[in-house]
Amino acid sequence: MEIRLSAPRFSAVRFLPMRETPRPQGTAGGSGTEHPQPRPGRALAHTAGAFGSGTPHRSDGRPPHTPRGARHTGPAGRPGTTPPVPGRPALLPLLSVLLFGIVTWQVVAHGPLARLDERASRALAGRGPAPLTEFLADLGNTQVALPVLAAAMAYALWRGRRVQVLYAGLAMVLVPALVVPMKLLVDRVGPLTTETGYYPSGHTATALVAYCGAALLVDRRLMPVAVLLTVATGVGLVLRGYHWPLDVVGSACLFATIGTRRSLGTAPGRRTGRG
């Protein structure tokens, strides 16, 4: 009977090599355990520090080089890394200043670009329905543009964005501070008059700073509407014969960076979310 009872034990030991070698099991105080080695063709576990949960981890148990919590989001809040690019924010101001210098030089020297500008203006002046073009030109009046900016500033102030409100007010103050000396310095004659002081366009500058600044203070998704209103102002001024086309272009270049996202949207102390 003892021989018959021990036979199954020898049989069990005999069949152990036929099975997969069991992995070593470590105890709480054990010192000789090793991490399980992944088999070929089998996916790794998905958690950092524990197996089978759902977050990628290194095979040696260390956390990944870039954990999810430390990743930067893109400009629209989407996942992704957006490292700062040296010189990138200064590209728009540089191009604007360069184009403004070229346009101003052509106007002062009465170069080929200025002569083409005058021919184009004479062909465009008086075109379109007068009530519509007059309405578009009036969008650059301070009586129309300033209340829009003031309402946006009041809303932003109510939201606690005092720094951005201050920037918007200073941007509007810069309009007459820069436009008036330039008008006196260039002393350009108007399209349908012998009077001077038409370069750059103050109405265009007022519309750009007021509408774009208001869009940035309230909701950046309104920026296309603000740009459309600024372009409509310039079109109305040219079609009514109040300004040469280069007056509008030069003014837009001069103030292109005044009410941009960099000066208002990313100012210190900005709150996250809408606004």
Q: Where are the domains of the chain?
A: 144-265
User: pLDDT grade, residue 92 (50/70/90)?
Assistant: confident
**Whole-angstrom distance, CA of residue 264 vs CA of residue 256:** 13
Burial of 157 (0-12, 13-18, 19+ CB in 10 A): middle
Poorest-pLDDT segment among 97-106, 189-198, 264-273:
264-273
Q: Are 187 and 197 in contact (CB under 8 A)?
A: yes
Across the chain, what does the average pLDDT equal? 76
Does the reported pTM lie above 0.95?
A: no
Alpha helices by DSSP H, the chain: 2-14, 91-109, 112-124, 130-138, 142-158, 162-186, 202-218, 223-239, 245-254
User: pLDDT grade, residue 63 (50/70/90)?
Assistant: low
272 vs 12, which has greater pLDDT? 12
Average pLDDT over residues 221-233: 95
Give the per-residue pLDDT at 266. 43
Poorest-pLDDT segment among 34-48, 97-111, 154-168, 251-265:
34-48
Q: What is the pLDDT of residues 125-157, one digit of tens each?
A: 889 899 999 999 999 999 999 999 999 999 999
Q: What is the pLDDT of residues 245-270, one digit of tens each?
A: 999 999 999 988 664 544 454 443 44
**Whole-angstrom distance, CA of residue 19 vs CA of residue 16:** 6
Q: Are 257 and 173 in contact (CB under 8 A)?
A: no
Give the per-residue pLDDT at 237. 96
Q: Are 205 and 146 in contact (CB under 8 A)?
A: no
User: pLDDT grade, residue 96 (50/70/90)?
Assistant: confident
